[in-house]
Amino acid sequence: MVLLTMMAAVVVGIVRLRNLFAVVILSSIYSFLMASVLIVLDAVDVAMTEAAVGAGVSTVLMLAALYLTKTEEAAPRHSPILPMFVAVVIGAALVYGSMDMPPFGAADSPLNTNEGIGYLERSIPETGVPNVVSAVLASYRGYDTLGETVVVFTAGIGVLLLLRRNRRGKAKE
Amino acid sequence: MRLDVVLRVVTKLLLPFIIVFGFYVQFHGELGPGGGFQAGVIIGACVILYAIMFGLENAMRVLSVTAVEKMISLGVLLYLGTGFAGMVMGGEFLNYSVLEHDPVHGQHLGITLIELGVLITVAGTMIAIFYAFAGRGR
Protein backbone atom coordinates (compact mmCIF):
# COMPACT_ATOMS: atom_id res chain seq x y z
CA MET A 1 0.00 0.00 0.00
CA VAL A 2 2.83 2.37 0.87
CA LEU A 3 4.50 1.50 -2.42
CA LEU A 4 1.32 2.06 -4.40
CA THR A 5 0.82 5.46 -2.75
CA MET A 6 4.38 6.42 -3.63
CA MET A 7 3.78 5.29 -7.22
CA ALA A 8 0.67 7.45 -7.42
CA ALA A 9 2.65 10.43 -6.09
CA VAL A 10 5.36 9.86 -8.69
CA VAL A 11 2.75 9.72 -11.48
CA VAL A 12 1.24 13.02 -10.34
CA GLY A 13 4.74 14.48 -10.42
CA ILE A 14 5.34 13.15 -13.95
CA VAL A 15 2.08 14.65 -15.19
CA ARG A 16 2.64 18.06 -13.62
CA LEU A 17 6.31 18.58 -14.43
CA ARG A 18 7.33 20.27 -17.67
CA ASN A 19 11.06 19.55 -17.35
CA LEU A 20 11.65 16.34 -19.32
CA PHE A 21 14.88 15.50 -17.51
CA ALA A 22 13.02 15.34 -14.21
CA VAL A 23 10.27 13.31 -15.89
CA VAL A 24 12.77 10.71 -17.11
CA ILE A 25 14.29 10.36 -13.65
CA LEU A 26 10.83 10.12 -12.08
CA SER A 27 9.79 7.36 -14.49
CA SER A 28 12.95 5.52 -13.51
CA ILE A 29 11.91 5.85 -9.85
CA TYR A 30 8.45 4.62 -10.86
CA SER A 31 10.02 1.51 -12.38
CA PHE A 32 11.99 0.82 -9.21
CA LEU A 33 8.82 1.12 -7.15
CA MET A 34 7.06 -1.21 -9.59
CA ALA A 35 9.91 -3.70 -9.18
CA SER A 36 9.48 -3.53 -5.39
CA VAL A 37 5.75 -4.20 -5.78
CA LEU A 38 6.55 -7.24 -7.92
CA ILE A 39 8.96 -8.52 -5.28
CA VAL A 40 6.20 -8.16 -2.69
CA LEU A 41 4.02 -10.24 -5.02
CA ASP A 42 6.82 -12.90 -5.15
CA ALA A 43 7.40 -12.44 -8.88
CA VAL A 44 11.17 -12.12 -8.62
CA ASP A 45 11.90 -12.80 -12.30
CA VAL A 46 9.55 -10.07 -13.46
CA ALA A 47 10.89 -7.69 -10.81
CA MET A 48 14.41 -8.25 -12.06
CA THR A 49 13.37 -7.50 -15.62
CA GLU A 50 11.51 -4.39 -14.54
CA ALA A 51 14.48 -3.08 -12.58
CA ALA A 52 16.97 -3.79 -15.37
CA VAL A 53 14.91 -2.71 -18.37
CA GLY A 54 12.47 -0.16 -16.98
CA ALA A 55 14.74 1.59 -14.54
CA GLY A 56 18.11 0.95 -16.14
CA VAL A 57 18.33 0.73 -19.89
CA SER A 58 15.19 2.62 -20.87
CA THR A 59 16.24 5.54 -18.66
CA VAL A 60 19.59 5.68 -20.42
CA LEU A 61 17.90 5.52 -23.84
CA MET A 62 15.45 8.26 -22.83
CA LEU A 63 18.34 10.45 -21.70
CA ALA A 64 20.12 9.77 -25.00
CA ALA A 65 16.96 10.80 -26.87
CA LEU A 66 16.64 13.85 -24.64
CA TYR A 67 20.16 14.85 -25.58
CA LEU A 68 18.98 15.14 -29.18
CA THR A 69 15.89 17.24 -28.40
CA LYS A 70 14.82 20.07 -26.12
CA THR A 71 14.48 19.45 -22.40
CA GLU A 72 11.32 21.49 -21.90
CA GLU A 73 7.95 20.09 -22.83
CA ALA A 74 5.80 22.41 -24.98
CA ALA A 75 2.55 23.65 -23.45
CA PRO A 76 -0.39 21.46 -24.50
CA ARG A 77 -2.24 22.75 -27.57
CA HIS A 78 -5.64 21.21 -26.87
CA SER A 79 -7.66 21.20 -23.73
CA PRO A 80 -7.00 18.04 -21.69
CA ILE A 81 -10.68 17.34 -20.93
CA LEU A 82 -11.39 14.75 -23.65
CA PRO A 83 -8.24 12.64 -23.05
CA MET A 84 -8.91 12.79 -19.33
CA PHE A 85 -12.51 11.63 -19.89
CA VAL A 86 -11.28 8.67 -21.98
CA ALA A 87 -8.64 7.77 -19.38
CA VAL A 88 -11.14 7.91 -16.52
CA VAL A 89 -13.70 5.76 -18.38
CA ILE A 90 -11.10 3.13 -19.31
CA GLY A 91 -9.67 3.15 -15.80
CA ALA A 92 -13.13 2.69 -14.32
CA ALA A 93 -13.80 -0.20 -16.73
CA LEU A 94 -10.52 -1.88 -15.70
CA VAL A 95 -11.32 -1.50 -12.00
CA TYR A 96 -14.81 -2.88 -12.66
CA GLY A 97 -13.27 -5.82 -14.51
CA SER A 98 -10.89 -6.59 -11.64
CA MET A 99 -13.81 -6.88 -9.19
CA ASP A 100 -14.51 -10.39 -10.45
CA MET A 101 -10.91 -11.57 -10.05
CA PRO A 102 -10.32 -14.18 -7.37
CA PRO A 103 -8.37 -12.88 -4.34
CA PHE A 104 -4.59 -12.93 -4.73
CA GLY A 105 -3.12 -16.38 -4.13
CA ALA A 106 -6.52 -18.11 -3.82
CA ALA A 107 -6.10 -21.88 -4.06
CA ASP A 108 -9.29 -22.43 -6.05
CA SER A 109 -8.63 -19.82 -8.76
CA PRO A 110 -8.41 -21.16 -12.35
CA LEU A 111 -4.71 -20.28 -12.37
CA ASN A 112 -3.92 -22.58 -9.47
CA THR A 113 -6.18 -25.50 -10.41
CA ASN A 114 -5.70 -26.25 -14.13
CA GLU A 115 -2.53 -25.49 -16.04
CA GLY A 116 -0.40 -23.85 -13.38
CA ILE A 117 -0.42 -26.71 -10.92
CA GLY A 118 0.36 -29.11 -13.77
CA TYR A 119 3.52 -27.21 -14.59
CA LEU A 120 4.51 -27.18 -10.92
CA GLU A 121 4.15 -30.95 -10.72
CA ARG A 122 5.72 -31.80 -14.06
CA SER A 123 8.66 -29.43 -14.33
CA ILE A 124 11.12 -31.14 -11.95
CA PRO A 125 10.78 -34.73 -13.22
CA GLU A 126 10.57 -33.69 -16.88
CA THR A 127 13.17 -30.95 -17.11
CA GLY A 128 15.13 -31.11 -13.84
CA VAL A 129 15.00 -27.32 -13.60
CA PRO A 130 14.16 -26.07 -10.10
CA ASN A 131 13.05 -22.60 -11.25
CA VAL A 132 9.60 -23.25 -12.71
CA VAL A 133 9.57 -19.85 -14.40
CA SER A 134 12.64 -20.78 -16.43
CA ALA A 135 11.25 -24.22 -17.23
CA VAL A 136 7.97 -22.82 -18.50
CA LEU A 137 9.62 -19.98 -20.40
CA ALA A 138 12.30 -21.97 -22.12
CA SER A 139 10.83 -25.43 -22.46
CA TYR A 140 7.03 -25.65 -22.28
CA ARG A 141 6.52 -22.27 -23.88
CA GLY A 142 9.58 -22.32 -26.12
CA TYR A 143 7.58 -21.01 -29.07
CA ASP A 144 6.48 -17.94 -27.15
CA THR A 145 10.01 -17.15 -26.05
CA LEU A 146 11.18 -17.59 -29.63
CA GLY A 147 8.51 -15.09 -30.66
CA GLU A 148 9.72 -12.68 -27.96
CA THR A 149 13.30 -12.96 -29.16
CA VAL A 150 12.19 -12.30 -32.73
CA VAL A 151 10.26 -9.25 -31.51
CA VAL A 152 13.42 -7.88 -29.85
CA PHE A 153 15.34 -8.66 -33.05
CA THR A 154 12.75 -6.87 -35.21
CA ALA A 155 12.65 -3.85 -32.91
CA GLY A 156 16.43 -3.56 -32.97
CA ILE A 157 16.61 -3.83 -36.75
CA GLY A 158 13.78 -1.31 -37.13
CA VAL A 159 15.43 1.30 -34.90
CA LEU A 160 18.75 0.78 -36.63
CA LEU A 161 17.20 1.24 -40.08
CA LEU A 162 15.41 4.43 -39.02
CA LEU A 163 18.40 6.03 -37.33
CA ARG A 164 20.94 4.96 -39.92
CA ARG A 165 19.07 6.22 -42.96
CA ASN A 166 18.85 9.65 -41.37
CA ARG A 167 22.55 9.70 -40.71
CA ARG A 168 23.36 8.79 -44.28
CA GLY A 169 20.95 11.43 -45.60
CA LYS A 170 22.66 14.05 -43.49
CA ALA A 171 26.07 13.06 -44.78
CA LYS A 172 24.89 13.52 -48.37
CA GLU A 173 23.69 17.06 -47.72
CA MET B 1 37.06 17.00 -14.01
CA ARG B 2 37.83 15.87 -10.47
CA LEU B 3 34.40 14.27 -10.18
CA ASP B 4 35.06 12.60 -13.48
CA VAL B 5 38.06 10.77 -12.01
CA VAL B 6 35.98 9.37 -9.16
CA LEU B 7 33.34 8.15 -11.60
CA ARG B 8 35.94 6.59 -13.87
CA VAL B 9 37.67 4.71 -11.08
CA VAL B 10 34.40 3.47 -9.60
CA THR B 11 33.18 2.39 -13.03
CA LYS B 12 36.41 0.52 -13.66
CA LEU B 13 36.05 -1.21 -10.31
CA LEU B 14 32.42 -2.11 -10.88
CA LEU B 15 32.49 -3.28 -14.50
CA PRO B 16 33.98 -6.76 -13.89
CA PHE B 17 31.48 -7.40 -11.12
CA ILE B 18 28.60 -6.32 -13.35
CA ILE B 19 29.73 -8.68 -16.09
CA VAL B 20 30.15 -11.57 -13.67
CA PHE B 21 26.73 -10.83 -12.20
CA GLY B 22 25.26 -10.83 -15.70
CA PHE B 23 26.66 -14.27 -16.42
CA TYR B 24 25.61 -15.45 -12.98
CA VAL B 25 22.05 -14.40 -13.78
CA GLN B 26 22.38 -16.19 -17.11
CA PHE B 27 23.70 -19.53 -15.93
CA HIS B 28 22.00 -19.55 -12.56
CA GLY B 29 18.66 -18.79 -14.18
CA GLU B 30 17.58 -22.41 -13.87
CA LEU B 31 18.02 -22.36 -10.10
CA GLY B 32 17.20 -18.81 -9.09
CA PRO B 33 15.52 -15.82 -10.64
CA GLY B 34 16.89 -14.67 -13.94
CA GLY B 35 17.50 -15.91 -17.42
CA GLY B 36 18.63 -14.86 -20.84
CA PHE B 37 16.59 -11.70 -21.09
CA GLN B 38 17.66 -10.23 -17.76
CA ALA B 39 21.28 -11.24 -18.29
CA GLY B 40 21.24 -9.73 -21.77
CA VAL B 41 20.05 -6.43 -20.38
CA ILE B 42 22.74 -6.47 -17.67
CA ILE B 43 25.52 -7.21 -20.16
CA GLY B 44 24.14 -4.57 -22.52
CA ALA B 45 23.98 -2.03 -19.70
CA CYS B 46 27.59 -2.87 -18.87
CA VAL B 47 28.79 -1.89 -22.34
CA ILE B 48 26.56 1.19 -22.30
CA LEU B 49 28.07 2.26 -18.97
CA TYR B 50 31.54 1.82 -20.44
CA ALA B 51 30.54 3.89 -23.47
CA ILE B 52 29.17 6.68 -21.27
CA MET B 53 32.24 6.82 -19.06
CA PHE B 54 35.08 6.26 -21.53
CA GLY B 55 33.61 7.58 -24.77
CA LEU B 56 31.86 5.96 -27.67
CA GLU B 57 35.04 5.35 -29.67
CA ASN B 58 36.62 3.26 -26.92
CA ALA B 59 33.44 1.22 -26.51
CA MET B 60 33.25 0.65 -30.24
CA ARG B 61 36.83 -0.57 -30.16
CA VAL B 62 35.78 -3.19 -27.61
CA LEU B 63 32.63 -4.13 -29.50
CA SER B 64 32.33 -2.74 -33.00
CA VAL B 65 29.03 -1.74 -34.61
CA THR B 66 29.27 -4.61 -37.07
CA ALA B 67 29.85 -7.11 -34.28
CA VAL B 68 26.84 -5.81 -32.35
CA GLU B 69 24.62 -5.99 -35.42
CA LYS B 70 25.74 -9.54 -36.05
CA MET B 71 24.99 -10.41 -32.43
CA ILE B 72 21.34 -9.42 -32.94
CA SER B 73 20.79 -12.00 -35.65
CA LEU B 74 23.21 -14.57 -34.20
CA GLY B 75 21.04 -14.96 -31.11
CA VAL B 76 17.89 -15.62 -33.11
CA LEU B 77 19.81 -18.06 -35.32
CA LEU B 78 21.11 -19.93 -32.26
CA TYR B 79 17.56 -20.20 -30.92
CA LEU B 80 16.16 -21.41 -34.24
CA GLY B 81 19.14 -23.71 -34.70
CA THR B 82 18.42 -25.37 -31.35
CA GLY B 83 14.83 -25.82 -32.45
CA PHE B 84 15.81 -27.40 -35.75
CA ALA B 85 18.44 -29.55 -34.04
CA GLY B 86 15.58 -31.08 -32.10
CA MET B 87 13.86 -31.84 -35.40
CA VAL B 88 16.99 -33.38 -36.92
CA MET B 89 17.50 -35.59 -33.87
CA GLY B 90 14.04 -37.02 -34.35
CA GLY B 91 11.76 -34.90 -32.19
CA GLU B 92 9.51 -31.92 -32.74
CA PHE B 93 10.66 -28.36 -33.31
CA LEU B 94 12.03 -27.00 -30.00
CA ASN B 95 11.76 -30.37 -28.29
CA TYR B 96 15.01 -30.57 -26.32
CA SER B 97 14.48 -34.00 -24.79
CA VAL B 98 15.96 -35.68 -27.85
CA LEU B 99 19.17 -33.63 -27.85
CA GLU B 100 20.90 -36.13 -25.54
CA HIS B 101 20.31 -39.70 -24.47
CA ASP B 102 18.80 -38.66 -21.19
CA PRO B 103 15.73 -36.42 -21.71
CA VAL B 104 16.49 -34.36 -18.60
CA HIS B 105 20.05 -33.68 -19.80
CA GLY B 106 18.65 -32.79 -23.20
CA GLN B 107 16.30 -30.31 -21.60
CA HIS B 108 19.22 -28.76 -19.72
CA LEU B 109 21.26 -28.42 -22.87
CA GLY B 110 18.36 -27.02 -24.87
CA ILE B 111 17.38 -24.48 -22.23
CA THR B 112 20.99 -23.35 -21.84
CA LEU B 113 21.37 -22.90 -25.58
CA ILE B 114 18.19 -20.95 -26.17
CA GLU B 115 18.82 -18.77 -23.12
CA LEU B 116 22.22 -18.01 -24.61
CA GLY B 117 20.49 -17.06 -27.85
CA VAL B 118 18.16 -14.73 -25.98
CA LEU B 119 21.12 -13.19 -24.14
CA ILE B 120 23.04 -12.50 -27.36
CA THR B 121 20.06 -10.96 -29.14
CA VAL B 122 18.93 -8.80 -26.23
CA ALA B 123 22.42 -7.53 -25.40
CA GLY B 124 23.14 -6.85 -29.06
CA THR B 125 19.90 -4.95 -29.54
CA MET B 126 20.39 -2.80 -26.44
CA ILE B 127 23.94 -1.87 -27.39
CA ALA B 128 23.04 -1.28 -31.05
CA ILE B 129 20.19 1.07 -30.16
CA PHE B 130 22.44 2.95 -27.75
CA TYR B 131 25.19 3.24 -30.36
CA ALA B 132 22.68 4.53 -32.89
CA PHE B 133 21.34 7.16 -30.49
CA ALA B 134 24.70 8.25 -29.17
CA GLY B 135 26.26 8.29 -32.62
CA ARG B 136 23.65 10.74 -33.90
CA GLY B 137 24.41 13.43 -31.37
CA ARG B 138 27.80 14.18 -32.86
Whole-number pLDDT of residue A173: 39
Whole-number pLDDT of residue A112: 66
Whole-number pLDDT of residue A7: 81
Which class for A132: exposed (0-12), middle (13-18), buried (19 or more C-beta within 10 A)?
A: middle
Whole-number pLDDT of residue A128: 67
A163 vs B132: CB contact, 8 Å cut-off?
A: yes
CA closest to A159 among chain B residues: B129
B132 vs A164: CB contact, 8 Å cut-off?
A: yes
A52 vs B38: CB contact, 8 Å cut-off?
A: yes
Could you tell me the pTM of the whole model? 0.76
Phi, psi of A19 (to 5 degrees): -85, 115
Q: Collapse the DSSP code of B35 into the 3-class scheme (helix H, G, I; strand E, B; otherwise coil) and give the result.
A: coil
pLDDT digits (tens, 9 = 90+) for A155-173: 888 888 887 755 555 544 3
Whole-number pLDDT of residue A172: 44
pLDDT digits (tens, 9 = 90+) for A90-118: 999 998 888 877 777 666 766 666 666 77
Mutate to test the interface with A, among B84, B120, B129, B131 (most CBs of A within 10 A): B129
All residues of chain B having their beta carbon less than 8 Å from the beta carbon of residue A61 are 129-130, 133
pLDDT digits (tens, 9 = 90+) for A5-31: 888 888 888 887 778 888 888 888 888
A55-77: average pLDDT: 77
Phi, psi of A159 (to 5 degrees): -60, -40
pLDDT digits (tens, 9 = 90+) for A73-88: 777 677 778 888 999 9
- Min Cα distance B130 → chain A (Å) is 7
Quote the crossing angle between the two packed helices A20-40 and A2-16, to the nearest 10°.
Answer: 160
Percent of chain A with pLDDT over 70: 79
pLDDT, mean over chain A: 78
Q: Which residues of chain B have pLDDT under 50?
A: 1
- Min Cα distance A12 → chain B (Å) is 29
Determine which helix (DSSP H) or strand (DSSP E) holds B128, and give its type and residue range: helix B103-136
Name the residue among B30, B130, B135 with its Cβ closest to that of A131.
Answer: B30
Nearest to A67 by CA among A31, A18, A21: A21
Whole-number pLDDT of residue A88: 92
ipTM computed for the complex: 0.75
Domain boundaries, given as residue ranges, for chain A: 1-74
Nearest to A61 by CA among B35, B23, B125, B36: B125
Residue of higher predicted confidence among A82 and A67: A82
DSSP character at residue B98: G
